[in-house]
Amino acid sequence: MIKKMKEKDINLVVFVRDYPIGMAGTKRVHNFLEYLNRQNININVISLRSQIRQPSLKGVYKGIQYIAVGNELKMKLSKTPSLISYYFRGLSSISSLRKKGYKNIVYNSGGISIENLLFILWAKIIGYKIILAIEEDYTYFKDNIKLISRFKFWTVRKLDFFNSRLAEAIVVISHHLKEKYINLKSKTVILIPVTAKLNFNQQKNTFNTPLQIIYAGSFADKDGVKDIIEGFMAFNKEFPASNLILTGDSEQKKYYQEKYEDEKSIVFRGFVQDDEFYNLIRDADVLCMCRTESGFANSGFPFKLGEYLATGNPVICTKVSDVQYYLDEKDAFLIEPGKPALIYESLVEIIKNPAAAREKGLNGMKKCQMYFSPEHNGAKLFNLICSLLST
């Protein structure tokens, strides 16, 4: 049962990379904050070194005040003066947002790294309670990325023990992470799955021509983009009236875009703004979440899966992480990871049996409502925040 609080009781400051525009982590924060904002909590967001151009460096988004510190600032030696200024501005913002007479709480989107350690330590020193939202296990991270990013993720691994020591509570997204941080003797560990708002097109009852198949993500190795493209190309030879549309932006995307630039049925859309993205997946025909069989893929949980299920469209999904904890064969086209032939077979089954595919999509949407509701999962976070008031 949710404890009723007065507005003066809780002052929540959220640390997140990108805000208000961002990708999966940002959208998870949006869904939580929309719920928490209705619970009379005082909320501010600090966006720390966002690499996405934001509409404003300070403002109000859906009733939540935010400030962007170090927007588009690169971690380079040549930027040392700007980086020093960035840390001073970040520390100053944390201090100024602390409210006397309130229970001051920091919700940090992600674990501790060399980049945010100073901010989290300072918040702890001046009296904030710390909640860390950990959604990946970088022990398993193997992607070939830029040197500075590799260094950052190396620090995430080395500083992992700090998560349990500094946080009053850790919010995780998978059973793997829950077990990990319980074993590390964290004070409180709570599993809150992904969140997704229903995004169903009631008017749509036939497939598009050409058939629209969607992948959305960062093109990371764990996403299985290679398998999706390979499975699609086999399908496209038999059913040429079909397009694979890939959204998202990263260094890895450039590799795929160059490799398949001559394939007219493979469309790279790049980063898509939220309104356009949600319309795109709502009005598409098939959505692909085909993570690989890897420690990194199995340790987290795909945020996009919740958004896909929320459309009621057929979803092709690999059996990784906690997927089978929430879904069965009636809810999605569940396949073994790393097998493009199964993606091809699922697409053929969908095109040949559209009514059955539609039924699976609708069953998946019901599971989304059951497990991934922003209201239900927002209430879990609110109850956790309330539990810290007496600590």
DSSP for 155-195, written as a single string: HHHHTHHHHHHH-SEEEESSHHHHHHHHHTT-S-EEE----
Q: Which of 122, 129, 119 is nearest to 169 (CA)?
A: 129
Largest separation between any pair of C-alpha atoms in the chain: 67
CB 108 within 8 Å of CB 131:
yes
In CATH, which superfamily holds the domain spanning 7-195+373-390?
A: Glycogen Phosphorylase B; (3.40.50.2000)
pLDDT band at 139 (very low <50, low <70, confident <90, very high): confident
Question: pTM for this structure?
Answer: 0.90
Average pLDDT, the chain: 93
Residue with tokens 């703004």: 273
CB 301 within 8 Å of CB 312:
no
3-class SS of residue 10 = strand
Instruction: Tell me: pLDDT of 101 over 60.
Output: yes
**Once rounded to an integer, what is the mean pLDDT over residues 221-230?**
94
Residue 273 tokens read as 């703004």
Lowest mean pLDDT among 94-98, 181-185, 203-207, 293-297: 293-297
pLDDT band at 158 (very low <50, low <70, confident <90, very high): confident
Instruction: Tell me: pLDDT of 231 over 80.
Output: yes
Predicted pLDDT at 5: 46
pLDDT band at 145 (very low <50, low <70, confident <90, very high): low
Handedness of CA 275, 46, 128, 178 (dihedral sign): positive
CB 302 within 8 Å of CB 291:
yes
d(CA 111, CA 108): 7
Instruction: Tell me: pLDDT of 1 over 50.
Output: no
Q: Which of 161, 163, 141, 162 is nearest to 152 (CA)?
A: 141
- Looking at the chain, the whole-number percentage of residues with pLDDT higher than 90 is 80
Instruction: Tell me: pLDDT of 267 over 90.
Output: yes
pLDDT band at 119 (very low <50, low <70, confident <90, very high): very high
List all residues 6 or more positions away from 307 whose beta carbon is below 8 Å from its beta carbon.
27, 196, 199, 216, 278, 281
What digits encode the pLDDT tens for the residues 55-70?
899 999 999 999 999 9
Q: DSSP assignment of 30-86, as one string?
A: HHHHHHHGGGT-EEEEEEES-SS--S-SEEEETTEEEEEESTT----GGGHHHHHHH
* Backbone dihedral angles phi then psi of residue 227, each to the nearest 5 degrees: -65, -40
Q: DSSP assignment of 253-267, as one string?
A: HHHHHHHTTT-TTEE
Q: Which has more pLDDT, 272 or 391?
A: 272
Cα pseudo-dihedral 12, 378, 56, 100, rounded to 10? -10
User: Exposure of 80 by Cβ count < 10 A (0-12 exposed, 13-18 middle, 19+ buried)?
Assistant: exposed
Lowest mean pLDDT among 35-39, 102-106, 294-298: 294-298
Domain ranges of the chain: 7-195+373-390, 211-371
* Backbone dihedral angles phi then psi of residue 201, each to the nearest 5 degrees: -95, 100
**Once rounded to an integer, what is the mean pLDDT over residues 316-339?**
97
Q: What is the DSSP letter of 9?
A: G
Instruction: Tell me: pLDDT of 3 over 70.
Output: no
Instruction: Tell me: pLDDT of 376 over 50.
Output: yes
pLDDT band at 295 (very low <50, low <70, confident <90, very high): confident
Instruction: Tell me: pLDDT of 161 over 80.
Output: yes
211-371, CATH topology level: Rossmann fold (3.40.50)
